[in-house]
Amino acid sequence: MKKFVIAIIALLLVGAVAAWYFLRPKDKAREVVPADATSVVVLEPQKMIEELGLEAEDVQKLGSNFEGMLKAVDLAEPVYAFQTEDGQSGLSLNLKDAEKLVKAISALGFANEEQQGLKWITDGNSVGCLDKDKLLLFLSVAATQQDALKPLMKKLMQQGKQDVKVLDELGEQDGFLKVNTALNNLPDKYVSGLSKGIKLSDSRVNAGLGIGKKDITLSASLADSPLAHVEGWGQPIEGNLFNLQPADPVFWLCFNIKGETLLNFLRQQPQLRTALLGLNMMADVDMMLKAIDGDVLITMPKLDIKNPELLLTATLANADFLKNAGDWDGITKRGAQDFMASLEGIPTYFGVRNGVLYLTNSQKLADSACETTGVKSVPAMANGKCLSAALNADQIIKSYPGLSLMLSAIPGVRSAVNGIEGLTLSVSPQQDVELSLKTNEPVKDIVKDLKKLLNAL
């Protein structure tokens, strides 16, 4: 009996060791990401390849100049790019064959040596170290600073599994590409207009890019978003204007806002501020904008580059600005509450109908403004959102017969373009953002058509 118990215990131990070996975490690259990382990008190559419907030979063709590196890197595991608190930028990869990587990267001009128990690779702008499982590479490091960085890199290579806040937060996102960063790490042109009174380093974006059956979608959540601090912004879309817009428009944008908030935003834009000053000399434009309270819907009925037509409709709290209409200068009255002005030679029509403000550059749209068009329901992507927009790709193609004719001459391009339904954008009151490319055909089928076209070239 004693021998039987010992045999059972031994068997269990062997099973436990075998389970640990085969089920142990293979993602060693995550272990070298610094705990103080302020930004991180995670790419899952294998997931991207599968979602696009690509095959091994497709990847080899795309990376034919880096075949050795591709064979050395473990594409089934994630790739990490990060930025540390002191501004260092790094990259970590999981490896299948360290020796093969050293050989491949040496051909690209990297020097290599063994030092401090690790293999080191360097060139004039970067320094890296690797063992049999992983590579850690620091970028934009001058040759004179590389030796000073090596002790930190050795420590990171040996630190093992640990909690990294920016990586843990990424668990909320889906997709083959994930990003977590503070807004102050984004290019200035994207955040310069948001910095007033907001500490951008405390406002973070957490995003994921994924491929579904018939969509490619970027989802992002904003922690302590600057928009969340804007009074009069962020209420859900009411949807009362969608039945007033022309049917099947090429583009529409809808948001819910207080007029005072909208006016303040326009005043912060130098060119628009100058335009507002000029417009207020003609009519009570500031008073008109302040009266907006609820949905604003901007629509482009069709695509016409030479003569673009736009229609804006907005929910009003009141129409008190009309009380002074008799004193407006340079404004032509077209009806009881309908007017026309010429702005830099462009006729502009506006007025109030059934408590709704309209503004357009088309007389035809002005004549039919605020009339029910049969669009009865709120688009699905606008439900519960505070901002939503859609671009109809099919309408763009139909607007240009010449484009349709050209596409029909190239079957691969035609089928790929025809497979694209359009773009949609939505923002929730909680500042969750979703940008999605919708397709009529499965994404994998569109990629397959493009592959055929490329192979034929």
Give domain limits for the chain: 25-168, 173-229+400-456, 242-248+259-295+308-368
Q: Which CATH class is domain 25-168?
A: alpha beta
Q: Over the range 13-25, which residues count as b (16 or more CB within 10 Å of their CB) and which as e?
A: eeeeeeeeeeeee
154 confidence band (pLDDT: 50, 70, 90): very high
427-440 pLDDT tens trace:
998 888 999 999 98
Distance between alpha carbon 243 and the CA centroid of its chain, in Å? 29
**How far is residue 212's CA from residue 438's CA, in Å, rounded to a whole number?**
10
Of the pLDDT bands very low, low, confident and very high (cuts 50, 70, 90), residue 278 is confident
Please name the residue that has the structure tokens 């503004």: 359
pLDDT of amino acid 18: 36
Mean pLDDT of 137-158: 91
- Whole-structure pTM over 0.85, yes or no? no
Lowest-confidence region among 99-103, 104-108, 393-397:
393-397
Report the pLDDT value the prediction gives residue 272, as an integer from 0 to 100. Answer: 79
Query: Residue 228: is its pLDDT beyond 70?
Result: no
Which of the two residues, 25 and 336, has the higher pLDDT score? Answer: 336
45-63, pLDDT tens digit by residue? 999 999 998 876 777 666 5
Distance CA 304, CA 400 (A): 9
- 264 pLDDT more than 50: yes
Write the pLDDT tens digit of every residue in 310-347: 999 999 999 999 998 888 888 889 988 999 988 777 78
How far is it, in rounded angstroms, from Cα 356 to Cα 350? 11
| The pair of three-digit structure tokens given for residue 174, joined into one six-digit string | 């889906």
